[in-house]
C-alpha cells in the first residue's frame, strides 16, 4: 500500500443490476480489479447505504454478514444470489469510537447483514466475497452538510487500507419509475441530463457551497430526488476524502462512470481525493 485509497460514491440503481449488469455493472467489474492493481487489496470495506437507515448512526459490527434480499416482486434468480462476507468487529468498534469522539450519538451493534445497496455493488467489484465489510447506517433526514461532516470523521481509514464507499443513486424517483415505466434502454430524459450535468460541473469545480445547497440550486432537484436518502451517501463519501487543509469539501471530485437506465435513473459514480485521478479511465 503506497498511498491512500480514494473514496467512492457508487450508484446501485435497481437490484436487477445483480443479474443484468448493464454499463454500470460492467464498470464495477472493472473497478474492483483496478483498485487492487493501483492500491492493493483493501483490508476492509466500509459502506453506507440508504437501505440500512436509522435516525442514529449504527455501525454493524458482526463477525459475519448474510445477504439480505430486501425487495419484492423480482425474478426468482435474484433471490438465489448469495454474497455473504466476513465482518470486522474490531474495525467497527474503532469507527464507533471515532463517531462518538466526533460528538455523534452513534451505536455499535453486533448485528449484521448486507442490504442490496451493498451486495449488488460488491458482488461485481470483488466477486470472491472474502473482504471484510463494515456497514454503516444512513440517517435519511440528515442534511448534506451533516453527512459531509460524518464522513470527515473517518478520513484516516483510507490511509489504513480501508476502502470507503457511499452507495446510493445519482438520481432516484421511484414514483416516476413505477407510474411511468420505460424500457431499461430508453433515451435519457431532459431533466435527468440537466441534473447530472449540474452535479458533474459543480463537482469538477469543487463548488461545495453549491453542492451542499443542491435542493435550492440544482436543476430539477425535487424531480430527481423527491427524498434525500439515495443522494446523501455522496456527501458521506466526499467527507471521508477530505484532508486537514480542506474546509468544506475535498479538492478533487471526479466522475468515473456515467450511464442512465429507464431514461431517468442515473448510475453515475464519483471518486474523491487526490488519488481519484487514477480511476479516470476505468
Helix (H) and strand (E) counts in the chain = 11, 12
Least confident of 24-38, 170-184, 223-237: 170-184
Average pLDDT of the chain is: 95
Q: How far apart are CA 67 and CA 83, in angstroms?
A: 5
Domain ranges (residues) in the chain: 7-279
| Environment class of 80 (CB within 10 Å of its CB; exposed 0-12, middle 13-18, buried 19+) | exposed
**CATH number assigned to the domain covering 7-279:** 3.40.830.10
Angstrom distances, CA of residue 26 to CA of 29, 44, 92, 191, 196: 5, 22, 30, 25, 20
Q: State the greatest distance between any 2 C-alpha atoms of the chain, in Å, as a whole number.
A: 50
| Environment class of 145 (CB within 10 Å of its CB; exposed 0-12, middle 13-18, buried 19+) | middle
Q: How does DSSP classify residue 56?
A: S
278: pLDDT strictly greater than 90? yes
- Determine the pLDDT at residue 186: 85
43: pLDDT strictly greater than 90? yes
Phi-psi region of 103 (alpha: psi -120 to 50; beta: other; left: phi over 0): left
Please answer whether residues 138 and 236 qualify as being in contact, where contact means their C-beta atoms are separated by less than 8 angstroms. yes
| pTM of the model as a whole | 0.96
1: pLDDT strictly greater than 50? no
Q: How does DSSP classify residue 243?
A: -
120: pLDDT strictly greater than 90? yes
102: pLDDT strictly greater than 50? yes
pLDDT tens figures, 20-36: 999 999 999 999 999 99
The H or E element spanning position 260 is: strand 260-261
Q: How far apart are CA 181 and CA 212, in angstroms?
A: 31
Q: Where are the beta strands (DSSP E) in 54-171?
A: 58-60, 64-65, 85-86, 107-109, 133-138, 162-168
Cell of 110: 453486533
Amino acid at each position: 500500500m503506497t498511498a491512500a485509497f480514494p473514496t467512492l460514491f457508487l450508484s446501485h440503481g435497481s437490484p436487477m443490476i445483480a443479474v443484468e449488469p448493464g454499463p454500470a455493472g460492467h464498470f464495477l467489474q472493472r473497478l474492483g480489479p483496478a483498485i487492487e492493481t493501483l492500491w492493493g487489496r483493501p483490508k476492509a470495506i466500509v459502506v453506507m447505504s440508504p437501505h440500512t437507515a436509522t435516525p442514529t448512526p449504527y455501525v454493524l459490527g458482526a463477525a459475519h454478514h448474510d445477504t439480505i434480499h430486501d425487495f419484492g416482486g423480482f425474478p426468482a434468480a435474484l433471490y438465489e444470489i448469495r454474497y455473504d462476507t466476513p465482518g470486522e468487529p474490531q474495525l467497527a468498534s474503532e469507527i464507533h469510537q471515532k463517531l462518538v469522539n466526533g460528538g455523534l450519538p452513534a451505536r455499535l451493534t453486533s448485528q449484521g447483514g448486507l442490504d442490496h445497496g451493498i451486495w449488488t455493488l460488491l458482488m461485481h467489484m470483488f466477486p470472491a466475497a472474502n473482504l471484510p465489510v463494515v456497514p454503516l447506517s444512513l440517517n435519511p433526514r440528515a442534511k448534506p452538510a451533516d453527512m459531509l461532516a460524518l464522513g470527515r470523521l473517518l478520513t484516516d481509514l483510507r490511509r489504513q487500507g480501508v476502502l470507503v464507499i457511499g452507495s446510493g443513486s445519482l438520481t432516484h424517483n421511484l414514483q416516476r419509475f413505477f407510474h411511468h415505466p420505460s424500457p431499461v434502454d430508453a433515451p435519457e430524459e431532459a431533466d435527468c441530463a440537466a441534473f447530472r450535468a449540474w452535479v458533474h460541473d459543480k463537482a469538477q469545480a469543487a463548488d461545495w457551497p453549491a453542492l451542499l445547497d443542491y435542493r435550492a440550486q440544482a436543476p430539477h432537484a425535487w424531480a430527481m430526488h423527491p427524498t434525500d436518502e439515495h443522494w446523501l451517501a455522496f456527501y458521506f463519501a466526499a467527507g471521508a476524502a477530505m484532508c486537514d487543509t480542506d474546509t468544506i469539501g475535498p479538492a478533487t471530485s471526479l466522475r468515473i462512470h456515467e450511464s442512465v437506465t429507464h431514461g431517468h435513473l442515473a448510475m453515475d459514480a464519483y471518486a474523491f481525493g487526490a488519488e481519484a485521478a487514477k480511476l479516470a479511465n476505468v
